[in-house]
Structure 1
Amino acid sequence: MAVDPHKHCPICGTPIPLDELVCSPDCQKVWDARLSQTKRSRLILYVVIAIFLIIWAVMTFMK
């Protein structure tokens, strides 16, 4: 009554083999879109932090 080793698709939860990332091309599209959005969000965060630090440095050293 043992279950074969497997993992679940991070998009829909369907059981998949250990060597696969997602279960279907549709889930792959969703996965790629999420990955792209995550990268974009991180880039925006880094840019906002850099702008804040530049403004802070200018305000601190220009007194």
Structure 2
Amino acid sequence: MHLWDYDKKTIKRTTHTIRWQLERMIQFGTKGKKIKKALLVKHFPFLHLDPKKREFLKFLLWNK
């Protein structure tokens, strides 16, 4: 993931920043990196996503 407005080395790994990074990876792409399914499932209810992307991810994760 390419961070153009923050230095990745100075960001602390908190729950808030993990969710923020997941949201950005989903919205802007991952540059070929994969998102770990367990991490996405754990934080999914708390992510602020576009409704269409949320429904698509639900389908991929849980076949709903």
TM-score normalised by the chain length of structure 1: 0.25
* Bigger relative contact order, structure 1 or 2 (CA pairs below 8 A, ≥6 apart): 2
Q: Which has the higher strand share?
A: 1
TM-score normalised by the chain length of structure 2: 0.25
